[in-house]
Chain A
């Protein structure tokens, strides 16, 4: 904290109030109970809102879209943000998850108990998406950067083209009449679950491997990081959650067709990730929320909405190229050991600076 120069009596009193408030905020925010409390509150709200119609159904849908987008953005952040790659085909994995889960709930699961089997369908969608991602991961080992972009882009087109040609699953007409099994509690549950898993992955040994690949792949291989295994895992995890998001999306919209999962959708997810901040879970949450909400908020502008949105995006990129959060992370998402380590390091630095100054 900077130590400001005191000018007058009133100023010094005002500043001490600010310090006091800041201290109290810091103390409160440091408490590791905040996040669990917020989660419980959120869980309760996710039941209360639809039950008592605390907000109108339109805003409820938007909240659910935001939840799904958060899952999409955070999962893409693993590969694009933390691993520093450039994957452009995320909507393809979403499509796989959506189709697999829809086919399961429509044709495989017993009709009367379908809402019990829904979580199974979602997981199945994610698993198949993860398996499919391995097909993409293999050519990606030899290439980096822009070449990976092509591979993932081609994959997106291929998935779309395959689905269009299989009439048994609807072809270009898509699948109609999917059950509306996605509710606000389920979206909340899956969002929290995916954020929790991804956050744990990032702060684990594999996560360190992912970060090291971003910084310098050759060096990390020299430091005995099994880059192949780490890449596989990162891709698979990222696609798993994309599949989960796809399944939730399909059961909310009650209709899916190949066109819904085209390059434009991938571009949307890409924008959410880079807008919020690469390499930051809070950033993905922020990016997904801001993007979805802003699109809705700007509706009164009519057709100018779609002219203004990209312009805002460009300006944001010019002033904050790494996204709103940049590479920083919200302290509640960082595990306690890392947090303590950073604090100790900062305090040491302060002392060292004070010593060298004096």
Chain B
């Protein structure tokens, strides 16, 4: 009896979902776009920002009457799926968006460890994918041939570029001779930038006095920081996420460390200041865009995001918005809602003015040529300090 109940419940859910999935908006011309976001799992904040920006971008276009392609007006229909913070779900979600929802392109995932399996699916299905935030160089390269993947793009710069930018900044602008690094050994992003930084800084003649690690989820860094204190570095590089950095800086200050702190684009959320308060005053980090020297278009975006969601957009949100902008531009240039045409159009965009700066895709590559900016935290706000060009 109870077994029948369970089986009929499961059957009912199956039928329900198939009906829901099969339903398509009848009538109006629509462009289906897929969003693969980390809504649950280990980085829900990233997924939330991505989802917010995606919804906003689609809403803006739809409220203006739709996207004008080849003379006809199309409404944007978003398919937002949660990859649950798991690599296998990320792959199956991408496949679902491509085969079942028939999207014209996929935006996301954001973290490299979820973006890479998704990119394999996108590449083999010949559907365009733009990752807003993934910085691992391996994302866009087919490791067997060494050539770029054809269908995988990103809206941000790569770890190798950023690591060099920060190292040069530390040496030239901050005049640092001894630098310590504290990074997450279990996360490819942190480790990647840390290693590029170390290599660049040492090649410029500097000395990396400490190269300490912790594991994702750790909150207590007193052991590592006590060790770092012994070497009295001028600058401490923390290429870690904005929810870990406040703890690291606080504990360092508690131990009496007075060095300047340096960060990477993972600091790029206003949450950092909310979480760290005055502790992070005067420190620097590299990121994609500066809110105070923003172009008018960027300012409009920031204000619209603030009105809709009550907080200043972080770099994930800004990059997602730009990814959509790129996609819309490519659709318009292609003149039709066709996967291959859109991909070709995107690869040949000469110049794109986005919220996060100017973007242009290198010949035959999914990586954009893009500048980075160095920001300083001054008076509790992000303030533009310098630009670093590739």
Contacts and interface: CB of A to CB of B under 8 A. Distances in A.
Chains A, B in direct contact (C-beta < 8 Å): yes
A176 to B, nearest CB: 5
A274 interface: no
Interface string B132-147: 0000101000111000
Contacts of A296: 92
Contacts, number: 107
A218 B121 CA distance: 53
B306 interface: no
> Interface residue tally of chain A, by bracket?
35 or more
A174 B188 contact: yes
A313 interface: no
Interface in A128-160: 160
Given A61-B91, A172-B185, A260-B87, A254 B99 contact: no
Interface stretch (B10-18, B275-283, B339-347, B371-379): B10-18
Given A164-B186, A302-B82, A173 B2 contact: no
Interface string B1-42: 011001000100110010011000000000000000001100
B113 interface: yes
Given A257-B113, A259-B186, A324-B6, A173 B191 contact: yes
B17 A249 contact: no
Interface in A224-253: 249, 253
A255 B188 contact: no
A299 interface: yes
A297 B14 contact: yes
Given A172-B188, A299-B81, A300-B21, A57 B113 contact: no
A257 B88 contact: no
Interface string A155-172: 000001100110000011
Interface string B180-202: 00000111100110000000000
A297 B84 CA distance: 14
Contacts of A260: 86-88
Task: Describe A's contact surface by its main secondary structure.
Answer: helix
Residue among B20, B84, B117, B136 facing the most chain A CB atoms (10 A cut-off): B117
A158 to B, nearest CB: 13
Interface string A256-285: 111110000000000000000000000000
A298 interface: yes
B92 A65 contact: yes
Nearest to A300: B20
B12 to A, nearest CB: 10
B84 to A, nearest CB: 7
A255 B14 CA distance: 30
A253 B187 CA distance: 19
A255 B120 contact: yes
Interface in A90-142: none
A305 interface: yes
A254 B123 CA distance: 12
Interface string B198-241: 00000000000000000100000000000000000000000000
> Interface residue tally of chain B, by bracket?
35 or more
Nearest to B81: A299
B116 interface: yes
B99 A257 contact: no
Contact of B13 (A254, A259, A297): A297
A260 B215 CA distance: 15
B117 A172 contact: no
Contacts of A341: none
B113 A174 contact: yes
Contacts of A299: 17, 81-82, 96
Nearest to B123: A254
A176 B87 contact: no
B300 interface: no
Contacts of A257: 87, 113, 188
B95 interface: yes
29 contacts: A57-B95, A57-B125, A58-B95, A58-B96, A62-B92, A161-B215, A165-B185, A171-B188, A171-B191, A173-B138, A173-B191, A174-B113, A174-B116, A180-B120, A254-B117, A255-B87, A255-B117, A256-B87, A260-B88, A294-B10, A295-B89, A297-B13, A300-B17, A300-B20, A305-B40, A305-B82, A306-B40, A306-B84, A324-B6
Given A171-B185, A180-B120, 8 more contacts: A164-B186, A177-B143, A253-B88, A254-B117, A256-B87, A257-B188, A299-B81, A300-B17
Interface of A: 56-59, 61-62, 65, 160-161, 164-165, 171-174, 176-177, 180, 249, 253-260, 290, 293-300, 302-303, 305-306, 316, 319-320, 324
